[in-house]
């Protein structure tokens, strides 16, 4: 199992907060959201102004001592650097934050680079990291702020390359997560799948958004299509969750067991065992 798969195994269970605590505005019927969102202003009206400094401060407690020392050293160099030297230091910091699996601070460094050089690859990295950071938080105001940054990056990227499916997918995800234009975002994702029926990112996000809006039958279809190409932890876990919500207990158990075999993570595996035990009652 590679490092990325191990990380997915470790965090995939935590993503359920993203799926259920904050349903997609505009995709969920009012009756379904009346209890959890009563009295809450639209996400785009209460977007938090998440800063590079705040993102780094929140992420640093999760670093190893070696990672913390490297990042602190580079931050001090960046403060003292001239304009010509800043891009190289910012790219080093973005890379270190990526290696630490902390997308929010990495996103801000890629954003600074993209705003200076206007390179397509840096806009894509910016948008992807902001989308990842949006998914990693359950705070609604922070989600809106991070998603707005992602949307800005992908809008620029799609202007540079209108036919690029990664940029179009990222923009679709950001528009849904931002709370302001969910149907426009879904339309973009559906267009990606129309062009590329096996597109991993588009199918995964369509499946997750279907779960968030309570359309578990549609979610099952998206995840099963993904799994026809390759068995992976994330779609298997969400497939199991979707089956569970539909009351298809045996299908859910089988999907959980397939997921656990791929995880190779004792802690996550124990959580899966708990889910299976609950379904067998």
Q: What is the pLDDT of residue 44?
A: 39
> Which of left, alpha, beta for 158 (phi over 0: left; psi -120 to 50: alpha)?
alpha
Continuous H helices in 100-215: 103-117, 120-136, 140-160, 165-177, 182-195, 200-212
* Model pLDDT, residue 140: 83
The confidence score (pLDDT) of residue 264 equals: 77
- What is Dmax (Cα atoms) for the chain? 64
Give the model's pLDDT for residue 263: 85
Indicate whether 114 pLDDT > 70. Answer: yes
If you average pLDDT over every residue of the chain, what do you get?
86
Other CB atoms within 10 Å distance of the CB of residue 4? 9
Per residue in 70-111, pLDDT (tens digit) is: 999 999 999 999 999 999 999 999 999 999 999 999 999 999
pLDDT value at 138 more than 90? no
pLDDT band at 5 (very low <50, low <70, confident <90, very high): very low
Query: Which band of pLDDT confidence, cut at 50, 70 and 90, is reported for residue 235?
Result: very high
Enumerate domains of the chain plus CATH numbers: 1-23+211-281 (1.25.40), 47-167 (1.25.40)
Please give the share of the chain, as a percent, with pLDDT higher than 90.
Answer: 72
| Mean pLDDT computed over 193-203 | 97
Is residue 145 very low, low, confident or very high in pLDDT (cuts 50, 70, 90)? very high
At residue 18 the predicted structure's pLDDT band, cuts being 50, 70 and 90, is low
Q: What is the pTM of this model?
A: 0.84
Rounded Cα gap, residues 223 and 59, in angstroms: 31
User: Which one, of 61, 113, 62, lies nearest residue 87 by Cα?
Assistant: 113
């Amino acid at each position: 199992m590679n490092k990325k798969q191990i990380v997915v195994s470790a965090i995939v269970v935590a993503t359920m907060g993203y799926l259920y605590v904050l349903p997609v505005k505009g995709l969920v019927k009012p009756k379904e959201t009346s209890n959890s969102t009563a009295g809450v202003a639209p996400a785009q009206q209460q977007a938090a102004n998440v800063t590079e400094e705040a993102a780094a401060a929140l992420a640093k407690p999760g670093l190893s001592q070696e990672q913390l020392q490297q990042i602190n050293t580079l931050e001090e160099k960046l403060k003292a650097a001239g304009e010509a030297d800043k891009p190289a230091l910012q790219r080093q910091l973005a890379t270190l934050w990526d290696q630490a699996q902390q997308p929010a601070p990495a996103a801000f460094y890629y954003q600074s680079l993209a705003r200076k050089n206007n390179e397509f690859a840096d806009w894509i990295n910016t948008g992807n990291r902001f989308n990842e950071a949006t998914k990693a938080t359950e705070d609604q105001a922070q989600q809106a702020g991070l998603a707005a940054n992602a949307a800005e990056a992908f809008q620029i990227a799609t202007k540079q390359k209108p036919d690029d499916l990664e940029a179009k997918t990222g923009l679709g995800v950001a528009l849904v997560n931002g709370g302001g234009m969910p149907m426009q975002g879904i339309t973009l994702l559906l267009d990606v799948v129309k062009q590329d029926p096996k597109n991993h990112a588009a199918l995964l996000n369509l499946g997750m958004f279907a779960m968030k809006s309570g359309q578990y039958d549609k979610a099952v279809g998206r995840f099963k299509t993904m799994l026809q190409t390759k068995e992976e932890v994330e779609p298997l876990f969400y497939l199991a969750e979707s089956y569970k919500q539909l009351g298809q207990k045996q299908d859910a158990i089988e999907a959980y067991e397939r997921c656990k075999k791929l995880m190779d993570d004792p802690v996550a595996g124990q959580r899966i065992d708990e889910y299976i035990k609950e379904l067998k009652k």
